[in-house]
Structure 1
Amino acid sequence: MTTTARTPSPADIRRWRRYLADERAEASVYRDLASRRQGEEREILLALAEAERRHEQHWVDLLGAQAGRPLKGDIRTRLLGWLARRFGSVFVLALAQRAEARSPYAADSDATPQMAADEQVHEEVVRALAARGRQRLSGTFRAAVFGANDGLVSNLALVLGVSASGVPTHVVLLTGISGLLAGALSMGAGEYVSVRSQRELLEASTPNPATGSALPHLDVDANELTLVYRARGMTPEAAADHAREVLSTLQAVTSPIPLGPAVDEDEHEAIGTGWNAALSSFCFFASGALIPILPFLFGLTGTAAIVVSALLVGIVLLGTGAVVGLLSGASPLKRAIRQLLIGYGAAAATYLLGLLFGATVG
């Protein structure tokens, strides 16, 4: 490890001790995550923990006797450790990815270039691990998030628009319940059809396994197999070479050689299943659409009900936006605010239309 040639200032000592505490905390996070994994993922996480230990040793060497009592890591790293010990989910990996991206080592001359490079690579390692979980979640999670937000925004807009027109409270409540049921059923049915259709398109692009049994009977000179590979995007020369290679192996095996997949098999998993997507859409749309009508269910009326409804929806929009931001590796705050502004924008437009309609009818 390199050592500093200058006498460290009190500010240097404080910064190094903070780095030391953060490295210890991050190593602990990776060990906790590894304890909830098996096989290759466990090995990768333990290797990351070992890399953080090397960084920790660098700051120990610089501090020497001034290391003092161990400090706690920053609040974000400690929260990450708490989540890792209790959940170990893709959410924790997404947070760890963001933590690695915030490393200050590239701009700090007291950190070695190797350490700065390590942190950049660690971000990509954690991104790849998180991508596995994101892929497993993507189908159902997409339906859940879209369903919840559609329920929140559409039913808030519906309730506010009808309220602004001046109709009685029981009409607003009935309208909100009708919007909940109609929207949830429509979302569930639409998501089922969408996912099933997408899976069927992928299945239609997957080679027929039975076609492999025809390979031993092909005319080697005509070599129709070349057309298959050309249709999949190979050049005529590459297709001919690959077809000759496949046909030459037929004499060495007793079972037919499959033609191989035309599409990535993992795409099926990423899309999810129709029933899971439909159920998620139904439940989350219904739960989202319930929020705007809660004040009316509990007896509030008029402006008070509208304000409370909007506040409740705003809180949930912020939460769903933050979750999407975490999973995508983006800023949770920015995604939360974006979600809030979009939802409130749609509801405000409908409310103004309701006011206009009510004034016109009146």
Structure 2
Amino acid sequence: MDLRQEPSAATVRRWRRYLADERAEAQIYRDLAVRRVGEERAILLALADAEGRHEAHWRELLGSRLRSEPRVDIRTRVLGFFARRFGSVFTLALMQRAESRTPYAADDDATDSMAADERIHEEVVRGLAARGRSRISGTFRAAVFGANDGLVSNLALVLGVGATGVSPQTVLFTGVAGLLAGALSMAAGEYVSVHSQRELLAGSRPSADARRAIAALDVDANELALVYRARGMAEEEAQARASAVLGGRDTLGVDTGAVATTDVDEHEAVGTARSAALSSFLFFASGALIPVLPWLFGMAGLPAVLLAAALVGIALLGTGTVIGLLSGTSLLSRALRQLLIGYGAAALTYVLGLLFGAQLG
């Protein structure tokens, strides 16, 4: 755009919006950095500096037209609130989505380097968010699966039993029994799963005895290279690694090398089996309680069914949104997927209950 021409009012408003967003996003990164240390803190502060350069660009274009600081939109204010209060992976996931929606590539008033910066920022934030996702993946998996299973299974249970025409008290007791049985089953299954997974990972790690034995190996004839070959190295690479380890021994014969390790995806075992089991129990129970609420408060018949379905639908949309948020994918598609799967299972069970009740009648 020719800067000698007076920009339109719409253009000035757009520049002001960009300025507000850049200023707010820089502050969000600084707020996140307060809760980080080391490399992550340095990366976040560097992102804030980059947003500051973009802010300066819009300030220069606005010039004397900038008579007051522009107001930040509600979305960015919400992000700032979460960054200051929590500084969690949720905020990074939201920032990842915000960076991906940059309008600079289609805006002639933004430079090519600014548009490129925003794309790179998205990947940087994606990397930071991935670190957070890996740290919470074990407990998060148990929480989401537990809540979703509780919602769907208990809704299907109470609707299926209720459709047979039994009394409201029977539906209520059935729902409570389903809650307790399902929560205990989920907790036990998650405990066994995580505990077994950690045992498998431990079985893949090099033995301490093997490390201590390196010092006594015959330099000219030994099987150390076979260890590396067994863990995926090519023969020449394994031999070179073994020679380097043997050549690095100190005069006391203490092993200063390390037996090769596999790139085991250990983040899947984040958290203990006990914490995963507790998360599964609590979240399944909280999810399974929702379909029972109408009968718990004395409702019966079709009104209870409709209210239970509505409450569970809202909760399913919530769990789907959280999954989409943390995975960096579409929030709407993940929310609708959860809703359709849950309603599909409940509807099928309800129809079967109607058929079964009709046969009994």
User: 1:1-362 counterparts in 2 under 5 A?
Assistant: 4=3, 6-251=5-250, 254-260=253-259, 262-264=261-263, 267=266, 270-362=269-361
Distance 1:219 1:265 in 2: 30
Displacement of 1:334 in angstroms is 2.1
Aligned-partner residue type, residue 358 of structure 2: A
Deviation at 1:331, TM superposition (A): 2.2
- Distance in 2, matches of 1:163 and 1:31, equals 54
User: 2:342 corresponds to which letter in structure 1?
Assistant: G
Kept in 2, the 8 Å contact 1:215–1:257? The answer is no
Cα deviation, residue 266, structure 1: 6.5
Quote how far apart the aligned CAs of 1:250 are.
1.9
Structure 2: distance between partners of 1:176 and 1:41:
46
AA in 1 matched with 2:13: R
- What is the rounded CA distance, in whole Å, between the counterparts of 2:267 and 2:48 in structure 1? 33
Bigger drift between 5-14 and 53-62 goes to 5-14
Answer whether contact 1:180 1:289 (CA < 8 A) is retained. Answer: yes
Distance 1:260 1:360 in 2: 68
Q: How many residues align?
A: 361
Letter of the 2:160 partner, please give it: G
Q: Which residue identity is paired with 1:232?
A: R
Q: Percent identity?
A: 67
Distance apart, 1:27 and its partner CA: 1.1
* Partner Cα distance (1:269, 1:289) in 2: 26
- Match for 2:322: what amino acid? V
Distance in 2 of aligned mates of 1:168 and 1:214: 72
Q: Deviations over 1:176-199 (max 9, x none)?
A: 111111101110000000111111
Q: Is the 8 A contact 2:228 2:260 kept in 1?
A: no
Cα offset for 1:327? Answer: 1.0
Residue 319 of structure 1 aligns with an amino acid whose one-letter code is: G
2:335 & 2:312 partners in 1: Cα distance?
A: 12
What is the CA distance between 1:119 and its match in structure 2?
A: 0.6
Task: Say if 1:73 and 1:261 are closer, same or farther in 2 by CA, change over 3 A.
Answer: farther
Q: Equivalents in 1 of 2:186, 2:220: separation in Å?
A: 55
> 2: distance between equivalents of 1:223 and 1:261?
16
Q: CA 1:236–1:209 in structure 2 vs 1: closer, same or farther (change >3 Å)?
A: same
The CA distance in 2 between the partners of 1:236 and 1:261, in whole Å, is 14
Q: Given that residues 144 and 280 in structure 1 are in contact (C-alpha distance below 8 angstroms), is that contact kept between their aligned partners in structure 2?
A: yes
Find the aligned partners of 2:270 and 2:174 in 1 and give their Cα distance: 34
Deviation digits for residues 47-103 of structure 1, max 9, x if unmatched? 111111110110111111122322112221111011112111111111111111111
Indicate if the aligned counterparts of 2:216 and 2:253 stay in contact, CA closer than 8 A: no
Q: Distance in 2 between matches of 1:187 and 1:19?
A: 48
C-alpha deviations, 1:178-221, integer Å up to 9, x for none? 11111011100000001111111110000001211211222323
CA-CA distance at 1:40 after TM superposition: 2.4
Question: Deviation at 1:269?
Answer: 6.6
Q: Any idea what the Cα deviations from partners look like across 1:115-169, whole Å, max 9, x if unmatched?
A: 1111111111111111222111111111011000000000000000011111111
Shift of 1:175: 0.9
Change (3 A) 1:261 1:280: farther
Deviation at 1:259, TM superposition (A): 3.3
RMSD of equivalent CA atoms:
1.8
Q: 1:216 to 1:261 in 2, by over 3 A?
A: closer
What is the Cα deviation at residue 359 of structure 1?
Answer: 1.3
For the Cα contact (< 8 Å) 2:183–2:285, is it kept in 1? yes
1:233: Cα distance to partner? 1.2
> Deviating runs (4+, > 3 A) in structure 1?
2-7, 251-254, 257-261, 263-266, 268-271
TM-score (norm 1): 0.95
**Kindly tell me: are residues 28 and 165 of structure 1, through their superposed partners in 2, closer, same or farther at Cα, counting changes over 3 Å?**
same
Gap runs ≥5 in structure 2:
none
**What amino acid maps onto 2:24 in structure 1?**
A
- Do the aligned residues in 2 keep the contact of 1:199 with 1:268 (CA within 8 Å)? no
- Residue segments in structure 1 that go unaligned for 5+ positions in a row: none
* CA-CA distance at 1:237 after TM superposition: 1.4
Equivalent residues of 1:202, 1:268 under 8 A apart: no
